[in-house]
């Protein structure tokens, strides 16, 4: 089985594992993960953050976005602009978001583009992760392409229950600096 097939199989397995958990459980466990982020020195020292908008059974990132906006940080949110192509747009309020592809909230078209070099701290989505900072994404490659050459702290949020021993990777996959679960922040050597 090649890497692509291994990832596809693992994605299906993880989605089946998270399925029985209620939205209430997702929100409660997300609060614990969010608190680890808000208490972290890396987040607190960041002036410009990049954060995905959660969807479905992902760790709820809305409280992070609200906190960052309230505390005066510059906030960037991903906008998919083409097949496998993503850019980060600056928002000043959650009202700058609208429902986009697949019902996922994304920045409105009139928002301004944020330069990758300006970002201090990025919160990246995952289907699953391992403790070495390897991320299993949704499979479209948007984030790995965007993160190539990025110099900001890259953080993934993952429920402990769906973390895996080892995520299969290929040369295009970008390793993360930190994995945050309910048990805390794990700094990865990369």
Residues 145 and 84 sit within 8 Å (Cβ to Cβ): yes
pLDDT in tens, 94-138: 999 999 877 889 999 899 999 999 999 999 999 999 999 999 998
- Scanning the chain, the segments in alpha helix (DSSP H) are 3-18, 23-39, 41-45, 62-70, 142-147
Give the DSSP H/E element, type plus range, for residue 157. strand 153-157
Distance CA 13, CA 42 (A): 32
pLDDT computed for residue 17 by the predictor = 96
Distance CA 168, CA 173 (A): 9
pLDDT band at 152 (very low <50, low <70, confident <90, very high): very high
Instruction: Please provide the average confidence, as pLDDT, over all residues in the chain.
Output: 94
Q: Which residues pair with 122 in a beta bridge?
A: 50, 154
- Assign 119 to helix, strand or coil: coil
Structure tokens given for 155? 């953080």
Structure tokens given for 145? 């392409």
Q: Are strands 85-91 and 74-82 parallel, antiparallel or unpaired?
A: antiparallel
Distance CA 139, CA 144 (A): 10
Residues 188 and 143 sit within 8 Å (Cβ to Cβ): no
pLDDT in tens, 16-59: 999 999 999 999 999 999 999 999 999 999 999 999 999 999 99
């Amino acid at each position: 089985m090649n890497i692509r097939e291994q990832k596809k199989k693992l994605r299906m397995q993880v989605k089946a594992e998270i399925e029985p958990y209620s939205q209430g459980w997702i929100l409660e466990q997300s609060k614990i993960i969010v608190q680890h982020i808000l208490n972290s020195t890396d987040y607190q020292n960041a002036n410009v953050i990049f954060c995905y908008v959660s969807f479905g059974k992902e760790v709820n990132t809305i409280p992070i976005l609200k906190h960052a906006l309230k505390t005066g940080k510059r906030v960037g949110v991903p906008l998919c602009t083409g097949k496998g192509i993503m850019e980060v747009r600056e928002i000043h309020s959650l009202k700058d978001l609208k429902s986009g592809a697949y019902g996922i909230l994304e920045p409105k078209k009139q928002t301004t583009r944020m330069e990758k070099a300006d970002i201090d701290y990025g919160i990246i989505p995952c289907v699953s992760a391992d403790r070495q900072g390897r991320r299993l994404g949704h499979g479209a490659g948007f984030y790995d392409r965007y993160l190539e050459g990025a110099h900001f702290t890259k953080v993934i949020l993952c429920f402990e229950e769906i973390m895996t021993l080892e995520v299969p990777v290929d040369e295009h996959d970008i390793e993360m600096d930190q994995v945050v679960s309910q048990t805390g922040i794990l700094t990865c050597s990369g």
